[in-house]
A and B are shown apart, each in its own frame.
Chain A
Amino acid sequence: MFSKILIANRGEIALRIVRSCRELGIKSVAVYSEADRQALHVLLADEKVCIGPAKASESYLNVANILSAVEISGADAIHPGYGFLAENAKFAEICKTHGLVFIGPPASIIRLMGDKNKARQTMKKAGLPVLPGSDTVIDDLSVAKKVASKIGYPVIIKAAAGGGGKGMRICRSASQLEDQFPIAQGEAKAAFSDSSLYIEKFVSGARHIEIQVIGDRVGKVTAFGERECSVQRRYQKLIEETPSPFIDWKTRRRMIKEVEDAASEVGYQSLGTFEFLVDEDHKFYFMEANARVQVEHPITEMVYGINLIKAQIRIAAGEKYAPPYALEMRGHAMECRINAEDPVTFAPSPGKIDFLVLPGGEGIRVDSAAYGGWVVPPNYDSLVAKIIAYAPSRELTIAKMRAALETTTIVGIKTNIPLHLDVLSDPDFVAGRYNTQFMEDHLSSKAAEETG
């Protein structure tokens, strides 16, 4: 086992890793930017090293300073969390050449999953269903049009290197494709320095459902019951739950089995998430795989009674994955992402938290690095807390989440709690009738109500 892990991240996920290290008896080293001097992951880690100014490119993405921090602290492994360097294959390689364990998939897997089109082709070969689409990346509009007409409209164009919705465009006709293709290329270029796109059949009314996997070094891959992530606004997940109100046990069993087979096939190691579109007939199509721990991993932990980060660390140290008991889902879990933002305009709302009362008690889990008196810096993402509710049924979980959010008091910054409460009371959400279009519809009907 490792003796000291450097955590190349910040916020709740860094704190999450600090806690897991403590439980495993491993020393933790926090790295932080000047803007995070008072961050909880820094205050609670065993050691800490300032690695640069607020700007992420000069601190959390500053590979030279991070590796120097490893050197001066004597850490023998790096946990990258999510975001920042988590899916940087080059960084994973550098770690290896420096004799450090990168706690994540091997660089080859990160590189494969980072190329969305290649990942899709590979997974198709490994047996996962994928949506009809281009088999190679497309750089040329005329090729795009040919492919699209063969697939049949509507289609969706996506950045090959992409993520987070950047470079994604839905086209319902050839003329829309003509308009959108160059825009998407420009966005992809700007966001990922790579204008390559690929084209897929667009499925309307689909759900965004993902399967968590964990693979160990002896080649065993374990997949878990689905997370339902369709409540998204502009491809940013807002509420996740497990099990999905939409997935029956047959579909679940099939998804788990097929993902385990495909992930084994490519030699998947460490934590990862296979994202699917599931259409109204319960047909599922592989979209992409994220080669890192996911923000919403806690809901899987709740229903299975496990700890994925600790398992990830153990596996990285060479242990086999041995679940503590038969892996069975019990109850229902839901996560609300509490962001420091205006609940109506979505404008970020950084600043000092003057007063804070987080929820607690039976069935409530809070993953947060916030504390009363802490200043939410304007430099990073706006996630201030993940509130996770767990109860025997979906209905009870929604009631519990509502009670938890109503009794959460965050003074000094605006948060999206009112938006969450609003969604949790939406009759369609309560009935489990939603897909990836839900938030857009919900927000526009609410806007109409208010102006009408």
Chain B
Amino acid sequence: MTNKIDTTELKPKDFQSDQDVRWCPGCGDYSVLSSVQKVFPKLGIKKEDFVWIAGIGCSSRFPYYMDTYGMHGIHGRAPAIATGLKVARPDLSVWVSTGDGDLMSIGGNHFIHACRKNIDLKLILFNNQIYGLTKGQYSPTSEKGKVTKSSPYGSVDYPFNPTSLALGAEATFVARTLDRDVKHLQEMLLRAGEHKGTAFLEVYQNCVIFNDGAYTDYTDKETKAETIIKLEQGEPLLFGKNFDKGIKIDGFNPVVVDLNDGVHSIEDLLVHDEHDESPVRSFIYSHMTDHPELPTPIGVFRQIKRETYDEAVTRQIEAVTDKKGEGDLESLLFSGNTWEVE
């Protein structure tokens, strides 16, 4: 419904609210904020048509810092609030910022239902693998054995893999990026913004206070070429400092091959297709993080077309109205079995 308009006059600072940003110095949330403010003018949407909804958590303070319509809701419920808004107002561009506790713990149900319903929402998960705002308890994405205030002897929970869960819940757009790779982050935000349907974007976000360094391996200059693999549409899965390693599929398992080993060539590698109708391919990507020997994929895992919930609602209303004519209250009142009293 959101028709692209010319918004070239909009600038990042038009999206900056007058509130002081209150995250801890060094928090990964800052880079997401400034990236969003850079990406929004590129989406061809009027400033007043953006709405930013959030739950509770550090990441959920986001709307206060955006000079758009916004709501800081209650813990875990942002996807449901956003769903109501989008169904009521398909003309708006509705974004949600949420944390791993907010979306995956208390908000898990709304998350999976938003995915399955394919409502045209952008869900940006700030995954810092910790409860930031409540000062450091392990979250559903924390690794097993994590020592925190609520797990002084190590957590005993096996974590969720957010992208796997989204895929299991039928999400039509699944992507991952890093707070520190600003260029990629912006590209992904743009892609999420352009997708029609529930767009799930996981951002690996560093919490400097309670879980500092969770993603250092993926962001450090020295290591990132070996630990991260960028998915690019139509391209073979290549990584490594010199792009001399790749991912090939063995049975259902992705394995690393060395292109210099004299045995393998680029032809052996898996070629990325984000539009693959089957979610199996992206499920393979999502599970690569289970294996320390494999690089962690970032990029768009999956992006397929499917009627959105809000479109379907509108379509149905139009169809019924076409058939029955616009509802008239007087006739509704007087419909059915009536009788007269004189």
Same complex origin of A and B: no
Residues of chain B having any CB pair with chain A under 8 Å: none
